Amino acid sequence: MDSAAKRATAFGLLAILLWSTSVGLLRSISEHFGPVGGAALIYTVSAVCLSLACGLPKIRDIPRRYLWLGGALFVTYEIFLALAIGLAHSRSQSLELGMINYLWPSLTMLLALFINQQRSNLWLWPGLALSLAGIVQVMKGEGDWSPLQMWHNILDNPIAYGLAFAAALIWALYCNLTRRWSAGKNGVSLFFCATAIVLWLKFAFVSEAPIHFTLPSTLQLLFMGASTALAYSAWNHGIQRGNMTLLATASYFTPVLSALIASLWLGLQPGWAFWQGVMMVVGGSLLCWFATRKYG
């Protein structure tokens, strides 16, 4: 690689690092500002930063299906994920919910078979099964596992778990439909603005405590907003001009980095069963990628 390609690849790797901070920061910010208020603030700052960094695309230049249906999926995903982590009953539960989100790479490959006529070999199915087994391993904790016990864990906070599973499926759907409908256009800045507006409308109708700013919470908020804008910009630069194969492979290890950073930031010490589950999710995603990569 020449020096320009190396710099672009480094930017792409920086994006992965920044995205890996999202679970821990989402939980921390929601503890300061509330699940809805915190999410609304995060996406407001992110929308402003993205608009300043990338500008707002012209609506008439964006394909209509991508703009309206793709935008609706994007907004729904971001809201579901933020609220799932914010509504967790504990920090350790928020870590579980964050890992459920990382089912999306495997689900993306699965949905690509039907939406984009993606070809694959038989390794796709064990890959998907391994990812799902990894989530079960994450959710069961250190105790013995049984279907009834896992069901009781879900019933402890059904809204948060439902939102997390739905978010993973919605993002997989968004990735496939964006590939099909976007015609190379990028509406992310607009979608972040729409996400912020929807969250503020929801905040107006929920009974959360008034937003109170402190220096630590404000610094976290500003960092997450700015890092989101930088991550999207850096990733686009990386995949356009850097080593795409290296970046794609590295992105599949995001769950490990995300779990590690969230654990350190939130002061958690997950047990061995949790880390086994995380590695199973990563392994399943890599198997799914391997099953489709030679088919383009």
Q: Of 107-116, 188-197, 243-252, give the lowest mean pLDDT range.
A: 243-252
Judge whether residue 239 has pLDDT over 90.
no
Reported pTM: 0.88
The confidence score (pLDDT) of residue 105 equals 85
Instruction: Delimit the domains of the chain by residue range.
Output: 3-234+243-293
* Total residue count of the chain as it appears in this document: 296
Is 42 within 8 Å of 83 (Cβ atoms)?
no
User: DSSP letter at 130?
Assistant: H
**Is 109 in contact with 124 (CB distance < 8 Å)?**
yes
**Whether 287 contacts 124, CB under 8 Å:** yes
Which pLDDT does position 153 carry in this prediction? 73
Span 17-45, pLDDT tens digits:
998 999 999 999 999 999 999 999 999 99
In the block, residue with structure tokens 């608009």: 51
- The pLDDT of residue 83 is 93
What's the whole-number average pLDDT of the chain?
87
Buried b or exposed e, range 237-267, using 16+ CB within 10 angstroms = bbbeebbeeebeebbbbbbbbbbebbbebbe
